[in-house]
Amino acid sequence: MRRGLPYPPVPRIAPSLARNTRRLSILLACVLLFIAESASQTGSKRPDQRDEEQTRRLADGVTYSSLILKKARCTVHTVLVDLSRPGLALRLGKGLDHISGLERVHSIMHRADSLGLYKKVIAGVNANFWQAGSNHPIGPTVIDGVILNNRKYKNWSGLARTTAGRLLLDTFDLEAEVVTRYGRFAVSRFNERYDSTSVVIYTPYTGSSVPSIDMSYILQASADSVTDESESDSGLTAAVDSIWGVSPESGTLKAQFEYLAPPLANTLVPCRITHVDTGFVIVPRNGGVLSFGKGQFPVFFSVMIGDTFSLATRLIPEVQGPVVEMTSGTPRLVRDGRVSVEWQQEGLRKPRFVSGNFGRTAFGLSRDGKTAILVTVEPPNRRQRRRGISLQDLAALMVERGAYHALNFDGGSSATMVIDDTTVSPPGGNRSSRKISTALLVVNP
């Protein structure tokens, strides 16, 4: 130690050691930050990151909730329906009451209220997917016992409601036959002809006649081009002639019939023939039109006015009891209380449909079958920073909401929920939603 220096000199740190020390400090800070972030994710959330849920009662046995998932950046709307309560039921509504009709969920509900079909329509969501071009609902579809479509698409799932009130989810197909005292023959389709030889049944949802005539379109087209009444008549005749020339039902033998008992699926319904023709045939409101096409006619079948037959329909897989409502969707989301997104089993081919974050609508059923769960996730919106949800996350959400079985309905921009006469998804009011084919309604009948 040198004289005059009270303390020994501090040794100088080598530059390389100083750099390593700084690196270690930065690394330690990163580790501490990672630990703190992990603790915040597994522990309590920051106040601004907590999910927000608001719940309110819509009616006795019907509860609505709105949940904002801040981390997932999506909004979930849920309606829980206690089906054990007398006076609550699920019904299916059809856009414009026509097989090809598209209409907003709010409008379908408002029309049902205005016509007095139910005491009150409490809530509604969109249901079936529909075919591009024809706009027909995809998969077996039954409304108040009247069949709109009987054939399943690929291996898609469906929802059926029996007259006893039981709700069932499965990959349903609906077979149909005409049964007489002398024999029976298969009915290929309802409300649509796929070939010239099969037997087809047309119900009132196909329009007022077979072949179907869109009178509103014809009259509008005539009004735009005529100058007097005589031209209007000739224009109408020309339009009808053009329909007759291209319709697959022109010249086919058709039998108009009426129901002798309320129409139902998965049972026998007695019918009586009221008219026979090969031209235009009116579709009665309480019946339909049986078209034999241009194939081999069943020689044992009598088509005299007044003759009777039975319309026999059968669900596959088998279901006990008549069925009054059916709708379809894809894929199955929950089976026996566990997440089971069965998109490949049901014939879907686009992984993006499964994994992408889209608006979604789903239906779930509790284990005891007494609670229906209707869920809609709002479609993506950049301005509001919403991003939708994947089917895997939707399935997990349905389990969290109490679903023992669950089915995905049409989604994307079609994802709609209406409560108390107000569209809550998508946000923006009743005219913000897309027109859809069918709606599942919660009603007080």
Q: Is the pLDDT of residue 96 over 50?
A: yes
pLDDT digits (tens, 9 = 90+) for 209-262: 999 876 554 444 444 444 445 444 554 555 555 555 578 898 899 999 999 999
Confidence at residue 52, expressed as pLDDT on a 0 to 100 scale: 85
Q: What is the pTM of this model?
A: 0.84
Query: In the predicted model, what is the mean pLDDT of residues 53-59?
Result: 95
The two structure tokens encoding residue 224: 């735009």
3-state secondary structure string across the chain: CCCCCCCCCCCCCCHHHHHHHHHHHHHHHHHHHHHHHHHHHHCCCCHHHCCEEEEEEEECCEEEEEEEECCCCEEEEEEEEECCCCCCEEEEEEHHHCCCCCECHHHHHHHHHHCCCCCEEEEEEECCCECCCCCCECCCEEECCEEEECCCCCCCEEEEEECCCCEEEECCEEEEEEECCCCEEEECEECCCCCCCCCEEECHHHCCEECCCCHHHHHHHHHCCCCCHHHHHHHHHHHHHHHHHHCCCCCCCEEEEEECCCCCECCEEEEEEEEEECCCEECCCCEEEEECCCCCCCCCCCCCCCCEEEEEEEEECCCCCCEEEEEEECCEEEECCEECCCCCCCCCCCHHHHHCCECEEEEEECCCCCEEEEEEECCCECCCCECCECHHHHHHHHHHCCCCEEEECCCHHHCCEEECCEEEECCCCHHHCCCECEEEEEEEC
pLDDT at residue number 29: 62
Query: Which pLDDT score, from 0 to 100, does residue 428 have?
Result: 83
Q: Does pLDDT of 399 surpass 80?
A: yes
Check if the beta carbon of residue 344 is closer than 8 Å to that of residue 355: no
Give the pLDDT of residue 47.
44
Contact indicator for 373, 311 with CB cutoff of 8 Å? no
Of 15 and 109, the one with more pLDDT: 109
The reported pLDDT for the residue numbered 70 is 86
Mean pLDDT of 24-37: 60
Confidence at 37, pLDDT banded by 50, 70, 90: low
Would you say residue 338 has pLDDT above 90?
yes
Cα–Cα distance, 395 to 408 (Å, whole number): 9
CB 334 within 8 A of CB 404: yes
Confidence of residue 297 (pLDDT cuts 50, 70, 90): confident
- Separation of CA 389 from chain center: 17
Cα Rg of the chain (Å, integer)? 30
Handedness of CA 216, 220, 221, 222 (dihedral sign): positive
Q: Check residues 114 and 323 and name the one with the higher pLDDT.
A: 323
User: What's the mean pLDDT when you consider all of the chain?
Assistant: 87
Calculate what percentage of the chain has a pLDDT beyond 70. Answer: 81
pLDDT at 232: 47
CA distance 164 to 102: 30
**Predicted local distance difference test score (pLDDT) of residue 216:** 52
386 pLDDT band, cuts 50/70/90, is: confident
| Predicted local confidence at residue 381, as pLDDT | 79
Q: Is residue 7 very low, low, confident or very high in pLDDT (cuts 50, 70, 90)?
A: very low
Share of the chain above pLDDT 90, in %: 69
Q: Which residue has the tokens 């080598």?
A: 14
pLDDT at position 317 over 90: yes
Q: Report the C-alpha gap between 336 and 249 in whole angstroms.
A: 46
265-287 pLDDT, tens digit per residue, is 999 999 999 999 999 999 999 99
Place of tokens 């010239």: 196
